Homo-oligomer: A and B are copies of this chain.
Amino acid sequence: MDETLNGDPHELDPLESQVVDFFVDGVRVLGLPRSIGEIYGLLFISQQPLSLDDLVRRLHMSKGSASQGLRLLKSLGAVREAASGSDRRTYYEPAVELKRLAGGFIREQIRPHLESGKSKITRLSETAVDQTDPERREFAVERISRLETWMRSGGRVLPVLQKLLGQ
- Between A and B, 10 residue pairs with Cβ closer than 8 Å are A19-B124, A19-B143, A21-B120, A22-B121, A22-B124, A25-B117, A31-B31, A45-B140, A47-B139, A160-B160
Find the B residue at minimum CB distance from A23.
Answer: B147
| A146 nearest CB across to chain B (Å) | 6
Asked whether B31 lies within 8 Å of A131 as measured between CB atoms, the reply is no
- Which of A15, A116, A165 neighbours the largest number of chain B CB atoms within 10 Å of its CB? A15
Partner of A29 from B31, B146, B147, B149 at Cβ < 8 Å:
B31
Partner of A127 from B15, B128, B160 at Cβ < 8 Å:
B15
In the bound complex, CA of A145 to CA of B32 (Å): 24
Please report whether the interface of chain A is mostly helix, strand, loop or mixed according to DSSP. helix
- Which of A25, A44, A157, A161 neighbours the largest number of chain B CB atoms within 10 Å of its CB? A157
Q: A26 on the interface (CB 8 Å rule)?
A: yes
Cβ–Cβ < 8 Å partners of A98 in chain B: 149-150, 153
Partner of A15 from B25, B120, B121, B131 at Cβ < 8 Å:
B131
Q: A167 on the interface (CB 8 Å rule)?
A: yes
Question: With contacts A18-B124, A139-B47 known, is A96 near B146, CB below 8 A?
Answer: yes
**Please, what's the 1-or-0 string for A129-150, where 1 marks a CB less than 8 Å from any CB in chain B?**
0110001100110010011011
